[in-house]
Amino acid sequence: MEILEKEKSMRILVVGNRIPWPLHDGGAMATYNFLKSLSINHQLTFFSYNTKKHFNDKKSIQDNFNFCEVETYELDATPNNKKAIFNTITSSESYFLSRYRSFKAEVQLSELLKRGNFDLVIIEGLYSAKFLPVIRKFSEVPVVYRAHNVESEIWGRNTLNSKSFLKKNFLNIQSKRLQSEELEFIKSVDAIISISPSDSNYFRKNSKSQLFQYLPGFPWLIKEKSKLQPLRVFHIGSMEWEANNEAVNWFLRKIWPLILSVFPNAEFHVAGKGLSKSDNRFFMKGVFNHGEIKDAEEFMINHGVCVVPLKAGSGIRMKLLQAMSLCIPCVSTTIGAQGIELNNNPILVADDSETFAKQVVALLSDHRKAIELGKTAQKYIETYHSEPKNLEELNIFLQQVTHH
């Protein structure tokens, strides 16, 4: 009881690079749920860019972030080919991170730091790393990095998967710069909160900062079983993320034809942010393009087996965890399943197209097996991703960092 009383007195500033609303992608879900969880025991202030791409008006912020104070700075961080090329030729810093630098935003943050009297600052994601110097200049409190993934790993894998020579060359240069800045950054913070075991290993190897692994938590579980529709398969994810585009392309080219050869009436349903209804990739037999949807859970519950055919990525897939929490059977690549303990087989895993197709076909062929896998998946979430348990451990760690 004494610990909780102390925790409630902590004033925490979280610094981000975007407003995590609406919850159309895993990154937004991860940040929003983290902020909401922290606000249970702490006085929370969220300072963030309000980017052109993820812009929220004042009413949206007031309605959806009423659990904390929010201060924003408007920024257009949209990638620009000319600026990217210019950066590659004339600079030695990462273009990916340089897009999130603004002198005026730093001034605004410095004023907040001077008047806020915070106990702790949390930098949310690597794209907020450029704020570290101003935080150090105007505050003496501990700085914690909350890592969504090992960002340089994602771009390194995207480089390997790129077919274009020019794009591959650009990504190779930029991913190396990003790795260098990421390594320097993780050595400069007081503590790191990682999101998966594989990420924890990377940070432990490359930084002496205090480390805590905080698995994303789910405050409730829908006990209603998924309406496991026969012969339905789905993928949901932001198509603004290159890795998801590559994953869907691979599934459609190499895996879906193999599934159709066994089940000609099978349906593949795809949805996600940035998905155009006119995208001609999806004009093929049995494929249904839902575009952007309002209710991800409703979509998941009604469209059968979840597939995560990722070839690049790091961290943990929030949409996969969400599907598992809904008792939905899932098939993923090893990379897509990163961060999930596979010893108890809560999902099926395959890395080549033939095996992946066989795993999906096995679930479509055996309804009872599919239901049992869904139950195992939900039990896994209950065991490893219980928000109350994980949050209690996080609060103890934060208390140690701040010496409260």
SS3 of 276-296: the string is CCCCHHHCCCCEEEEECCCCH
pLDDT at 61 over 90: yes
Predicted confidence (pLDDT) per residue in 289-314, tens digit:
999 888 888 999 999 999 999 987 76
What is the spatial distance between Cα 179 and Cα 328, in angstroms, rounded to a whole number?
36
Residue bearing the bigger pLDDT, 385 or 333:
333
Out of 76-85, 221-230, 266-275, 385-394, pick the least confident.
221-230
Main-chain phi, psi angles of 74, to 5 degrees: -75, 135
CATH class of 2-217+386-402: alpha beta
Domain extent listing, the chain: 2-217+386-402, 232-384
pLDDT at 355 over 80: yes
Whole-number pLDDT of residue 46: 98
Is residue 178 a contact partner of residue 152, using CB atoms and an 8 Å limit? Answer: yes
Q: What is the mean pLDDT of residues 164-173?
A: 89
pLDDT at 23 over 70: yes
Closest CA relative to residue 329, chosen from 244, 233, 264, 255: 233
Whole-number pLDDT of residue 56: 97
pTM over 0.85: no
Whole-number pLDDT of residue 222: 57
What Å distances lie between residue 47 and 20, 72, 144, 221, CA to CA? 12, 6, 15, 30
Whole-number pLDDT of residue 225: 59
Whole-number pLDDT of residue 31: 94
Whole-number pLDDT of residue 369: 95
Ramachandran region of residue 139, left (φ > 0), alpha (ψ -120 to 50) or beta? Answer: beta
Closest CA relative to residue 56, chosen from 105, 23, 103: 23
Q: Could you tell me the pLDDT band of residue 8, with boundaries at 50, 70 and 90?
A: low
Main-chain phi, psi angles of 37, to 5 degrees: -65, -45
Give alpha helix (H) positions in 251-386: 256-262, 296-301, 318-325, 353-365, 367-384
Domain 2-217+386-402 shares a fold with domain 232-384: yes
Q: Could you tell me the pLDDT band of residue 6, with boundaries at 50, 70 and 90?
A: very low
Is residue 259 a contact partner of residue 235, using CB atoms and an 8 Å limit? Answer: no
CATH class of 232-384: alpha beta
Is residue 123 a contact partner of residue 15, using CB atoms and an 8 Å limit? Answer: yes
Ramachandran region of residue 285, left (φ > 0), alpha (ψ -120 to 50) or beta? Answer: beta
Give alpha helix (H) positions in 207-311: 242-250, 256-262, 296-301
Q: What is the mean pLDDT of residues 66-94?
A: 95
Helices 151-161, 165-186: axis angle to 10 degrees equals: 170
Torsion of CA 306, 313, 20, 123, to 10 degrees: 150
Q: Could you tell me the pLDDT band of residue 5, with boundaries at 50, 70 and 90?
A: very low
What is the spatial distance between Cα 297 and Cα 290, in angstroms, rounded to a whole number?
14
Closest CA relative to residue 99, chosen from 49, 55, 146, 133: 49
